[in-house]
Structure 1
Amino acid sequence: MLTNGNVQHVVKHSMAYGFVLSQPFSFYVDAYPMLQNEVLEESTTLEYGQHSAAVRVLQHKLNKLSYYDKSIDGEFGVLTEHALKKLQHENDITVSGKADIITVNKIVTLEREKYLRPLKSIKSTFHPGDTGEEIKTIQKALHYFGYYKEEIDGIYGPMTDRALKAFQEDNGLEVEKEVNEKTIDAIYTAEPQTENKQPKEELEQSQQTEKSQETKSDTKKVEKTETQQSFNTSNLITNAKELVGTPYVWGGTSPSGFDCSGFIQYVFQSLGINVPRTVSDIWNMTKPVENLSIGDFVFYETYKAGPSHMGIYVGNGEFIHAGESRGVEVSSMDNSYWSEKYIGAKRVVIQK
């Protein structure tokens, strides 16, 4: 969850502030460009084959910059790689197809210019009730920084007025009943604090660490105690094992038949915990873990790139899942089939 000082400052006047501070990033990824910047800059190099919220943010920004027009699904595939290569080529960056620190900074810079440069042509003073394309330009700029969340309608109404006053207050300007050239210039020059200042040595080290964590053969993890989970894992596993033998049914969500994510959703609902319906959505809303604990999710890449199958870790190198061949069963993670397709483990984080 993003709760650092910069983000709190950006959205503290937003109606969505409480929502932002209490929800996983996947629920508000499309909200404010500056929040998206935080996610990209906290990630290491993004590249082909990865699947994450950060990849979804990358796709979103490439779409806004007219380099990518396909599904924003968080899967770094051929089309995302192609879009990145095109951006790199047009901006004299080494064409690698990877979102490294140089490429990410260029994307952030280009997007900032897209939102803010049109302000430079505005020389008028505006008052509540005014309308027009220049008001739209101001609304878009305020949206970039997280102050304006309503429809970009070109109407200087109460919400636009509120956003402008919040910006003036946060930036040490006199809070006025109008928007003048002084305020517009301040919006244009406002510092978004988007530069990634992580030292090169630390960045390279973190990239190596991340790659080692994602190695598919690394299925033997150190088990930790149940106290790490915020729900009763004993009840969870008991409820799950009671369903062993239930047949596999595509789209199934009940004891008469489950698919893999339907099984997960049903078992967690037995504890009063709601999880998304699809493997991809569960992957996006859960937290990566280095060391497996009982009750964690284990993900596999089976019929398509990215997570497409999952189960619940039950200890001793085993997981319970709804498989197509034998329905709900307990399988070994060391099994040659599953060990080759393993892509990582994640954990449900219950907000308190």
Structure 2
Amino acid sequence: MKKVALSVALAGGVFLAPQVADAALGDQTLREGMNHGDVKELQDRLSSEGHFTYHTSTGYFGSITRQAVRDFQRDAGIDVDGIAGPQTFNAMGVSGGSSSSNVSSGSGDWITYNGTLRSGSRGASVTTLQDALNSLGHNAGSADGVFGPKTAEAVRSFQRDAGITADGIAGPQTYKALNGETVVKSESTGSSSDSGSASSTVESIISTAKSLEGTPYVWGGTSPSGFDCSGFLQYAFAQNGKSIPRTVATIHDAATSVSTPQRGDLVFFETYTSGPSHAGIYLGDGKFIHAGSSTGVTIADMNSSYWSPRYLGAGRL
């Protein structure tokens, strides 16, 4: 991973911004707040196309550069997010360099999602997350691999800036924002890539749901401090960019009925009142994950003597 230091740059004001070691344009994602030689090269390219209008290339990625990137993206017919990532560089005809310059190796992203991280998590993935947050100006403290209160606050700080749910938990939605991806799902085009994207989203939702095992049940609860059954579903989906209704009955009405549930489908039950009053996420092999009133978030067997006679059917969102 690149070493990060703080430097001062002038571009209509004084800024403290992350400074990263030199690398070839296109081998790292560039975004607002960065101060880097690659940013200067990006500004030069944008200037040659009439998008960057500041009187000189500064190397600092501020609001003027962000708007210039957005203008270029709009003209190129690609996602308009003001972040210079692989899609933007491809539109410029820029081929990236080595992925070793990224926070983690992979497809050109800053950081690779290997599972949801939250307070109490430990390991190399936490260290990588802390490094990424620190490099973006969100103080996670020492990159020691321990997800403590300071890391949680740094995640919340980043989430607030990114305009996503600020819960201090680094799930798929937070990683997408760290990597400069939009967290609003685009319309389906019916291509085979959509099927792969849908499958990836299903697995991310399940990963988020499993990371919440052990969370206590709270009537009306909608956060990791406590969930009711529909609050748990709404949260797991929202963390992956999907908005669903708040109650089991309205979720049931919004879902498309399926005769045989597949992994990621919702399974509905009739419990304390007639009609759908409880639901969970189907995991396969007759198992589902849910927020039970007596168990909290847990994995249960649909074929058990309790759940089997109460099963109403499955639905897909």
Q: Normalising to structure 2: TM-score of the pair?
A: 0.38
Whichever structure has more helix as a proportion of its residues is 1
Higher-Rg structure is 1
Higher relative contact order (CA 8 A, sep 6+): 1
Whichever structure has more strand as a proportion of its residues is 2
Q: Normalising to structure 1: TM-score of the pair?
A: 0.34
